Chain A
Amino acid sequence: MDSLLNVDILLPMLVGLPLIAAILTTLAKGHGLRASISIAVALIQLIIVVALLSWLSNGGTSLEAQHQRYSLGGWGAPLGIDLTIDGFSALMLALTATLTLVLTVYSRYYFFEPHAQLDKTARFWPLWWLLIVGINGLFLSGDIFNIYVTLEIIGLAAVALVALDGSRAALTAALRYLLVGLLGSLCYLLAVALLYRTYGTLDLAQLSVIAEPTAITWAALALITTGLLLKTALVPLHFWLPLAHGSAPAPVSAILSALVVKTSFYLLARFWLDALAPASTDYGLIMLGILGAAAIFWGSIQALRATRLKLMVAYSTVAQLGYLFLLFPLVLSTGDTRDAGLTGPAVSAIAYFIVAHACAKAAMFLVAGNIMRTFGHDDIARLHGLAKYMPLSLFTFAIAGASLIGLPPSAGFISKWLLLNVAIDAAQWWWVIIILSGGLMAAMYVFRVLNIAFISVDEKAQIEPKHLPTNKLPTIMPLCAFFLAMLTIALGFNAELILDLVTIGDDV
């Protein structure tokens, strides 16, 4: 293995590089320069992740440790902070790098307006990169306190990005998001304090070995779960999400729905199935699954009732997040060895689901942003003629929608099919009904938009001229959304790619 593929450099670079980008974009003058720096950094980040993946799939498996580790500053656990990587987190990093690149390119055009408020675009880039620092850091952290820090970096950067719009609605949504985020982090930090008091370590891997099913561990797990459920916005703690995701600028909404909520889900999976697995009870796992099922129904109903497109897409996120929580009851009898970390058929299915949803949802939010730019509003009832004025955007929306519904050959189809298989193998047929009816409800809200979009303007003579599109978009903006939607199709045809990646740890 040559020095370029040395994991010792690659892991810290994934945190350091976006941090450097945040500093550079703060110092740089002019939107063009800041955007060029960002696109370059996003490209390098993607290359690093690809190198890391090839290292993991070639040499990584032959190492004796399942978790690949890097000790920052040469200080190992328990005193130092370890960066670790396994199949699941590698997949999340790859997803982050891909979405970062597409969304960075999109943002270059989204925030470029000759007469736009200059300070808004100047503030966007450093915050954007800080958010990426937090996300990458979180997926790489092998230390529960370091995870707290990355959670806060993500939270603060995300709140500032939501508030970027400057309108009263956006600021109110941002403030609520901030208070919820801080509450969630404090619950988490209290759990960290309890765990450190009891076990004397902050290291995830060490915890998974020494954790015992005692009252303190249960209390810590309950606090972690409460805190992270707030941040993941699982029903009934989802109240802050639709407004925050609906008021943010389009690329920010896209990354919030595609990645940020999933960082907390990733941690929940990490704690329940890996680090604190000895303390996780069957009842707790089933309870999380029931909440997930409730989220699927509640989110879909609200998406059906939403009047604004962005709100509809945000409620759809609430519903889709519900599917992720089906992971917890499904590991119960799939034959997964529950203390073996994040591996097994249920985990693979959910990992695939995360990727499929991230691409489809990011594409949808970008389309909503494009529509808002062109029409000046995103009122679903007034989107007549969308098929005529923005055919590519509508096509993108339809493909992303097909993936959310779970129609073949999209990635959404494969992910639901995998989930159904796992549910049937686990002899838990009731989840099958929920998964299928969730898809049906997704079809209802996606087709509702398509239905209106195909009504031509001529048929609706009473439409006022001001409802007709006024702005022309740079071609690259619909193309970015289209690329993400195409990605869901491409992943549908190449499912093994993702599934092989998640199972990297299994061969050891």
Chain B
Amino acid sequence: MSQDLLYIIASIGLFGIGLYGLIVAPHIIRKILAINIMSIGVFMLLVASASTVNGTPDPVLHAMVLTGIVVAIAGTALALFLAGKIHTLGQASDKDGH
């Protein structure tokens, strides 16, 4: 059970670190990374919760983590695309200004 507790503390810690980074980090890429650290924290809690008394892991939680990873990838991809597009547009308007 102490192992379980370790995972819980670690995942809450990751969630907290990510949340701090999301709020404090000035750069957009850092914010996107921070969101990913937060989601890893949540996924770890889900995976850790899958251990049961009789040793066979709970498949529902694994399915949830897989779905969560897919969602995280989609969200990250969209965020990176938008950040890249904003950056390119910003450069273009800077050139126009000069």
Residues of A that sit less than 8 Å from B by CB? 79, 145, 148-149, 152, 155-156, 159-160, 163, 168, 171-172, 174-175, 178-179, 182-183, 185-186, 189-190, 192-194, 196-197, 202
Contacts and interface: CB of A to CB of B under 8 A. Distances in A.
B93 A79 contact: no
A145 B19 CA distance: 22
A175 B64 contact: no
Given A168-B93, A186-B42, A175 B49 contact: no
Contacts of A159: 78, 82
Given A168-B89, A196-B61, A174 B42 contact: no
B79 interface: yes
A186 B39 contact: yes
B13 interface: no
A178 B39 contact: no
Nearest to A201: B60
Nearest to B75: A182
A183 B86 CA distance: 21
B49 A197 contact: yes
B73 to A, nearest CB: 11
B37 to A, nearest CB: 10
A194 B89 CA distance: 42
A290 to B, nearest CB: 24
Contacts of A186: 15, 35, 38-39, 42
A163 B81 CA distance: 11
B67 A149 contact: yes
What secondary structure prevails in chain A residues at the interface with B?
helix
B28 interface: yes
Given A156-B75, A190-B42, 14 more contacts: A163-B82, A168-B86, A178-B75, A179-B32, A182-B39, A185-B71, A186-B42, A189-B39, A190-B41, A192-B64, A193-B46, A196-B46, A196-B64, A202-B60
Contacts of A190: 15, 41-42, 45
B90 interface: yes
A193 B90 CA distance: 40
Contacts of A145: 64, 67
Contacts of B68: 148, 189
Interface string B12-49: 00010001001000001001100100110110011001
11 contacts: A152-B71, A156-B74, A163-B85, A172-B86, A175-B83, A182-B39, A190-B15, A193-B49, A196-B46, A196-B64, A197-B49
Given A178-B79, A183-B35, A190-B15, A168 B60 contact: no
Contacts of B78: 156, 159-160, 178
A193 B42 contact: yes
A78 to B, nearest CB: 8
Given A159-B78, A183-B35, A175 B15 contact: no
Given A168-B90, A171-B86, A175-B79, A196 B35 contact: no
B2 to A, nearest CB: 16
Nearest to B90: A168
Given A172-B86, A186-B39, A193-B42, A179 B60 contact: no
Contacts of B64: 145, 192, 196
B30 to A, nearest CB: 11
